[in-house]
Amino acid sequence: MQTGLETMDLSDLITPEAIVPGAKVSSKKQILQELAQRAADLTGLGERQVFEVLLQRERLGSTGVGQGVAIPHGKLPGLNSIFGMFARLDKPINFDAMDDQPVDLIFLLLAPEGAGADHLKALARIARVLREPGTAQKLRGCRDAAGLYALLIQSTESNAA
């Protein structure tokens, strides 16, 4: 039985404009603020609204999933479709991750309030792609937005095969 997870492409979630290469931040709060600002610019939502949703989710438990990866996420009213953004940090930061390792690869995911299962499928797909050792290693070695975008999209296609 197909769940739809296998067919979800990261290209459905992210655009080249939503890539942040080499973010220079020193804390979890700082990167969440920067991502909220950029997400607000790209979606037309309020920066404060995005930031508050991300903070509320982090209070439930860290979205640091391990192996240097975090997937902060939340649901927002006024959003028409699932929105993704990817950031590669210049230096890893403490993100209270499950494995206590610092984080340097962050995929932000915002979903409409009624997204339901699609939100969960997107989270699972992102986690699967970013936890591929080869993919994470390539993303860490890439310095420009176009290259990061290409790697994310390419890894989705090769994982779907």
Q: Are strands 64-66 and 19-23 parallel, antiparallel or unpaired?
A: unpaired
| pLDDT tops 50 at residue 2 | no
Q: Give the pair of three-digit tokens for residue 34.
A: 């920067």
Average pLDDT over residues 45-74: 96
Q: Could you give the C-alpha distances from 85 to 1, 63, 161, in angstroms and in order?
A: 30, 15, 24
Active site residue 119: no
Structural domain spans, the chain: 10-160
pLDDT tens digits, 119-161: 899 999 999 999 887 999 999 999 999 999 999 998 655 544 4
8 SS3 class: coil
pLDDT tens digits, 7-37: 568 888 999 999 999 999 999 999 999 999 9
pTM of the model: 0.90
Catalytic position from the list 25, 39, 64, 73: 73
The architecture (CATH level 2) of 10-160 comes to 3-Layer(aba) Sandwich (3.40)
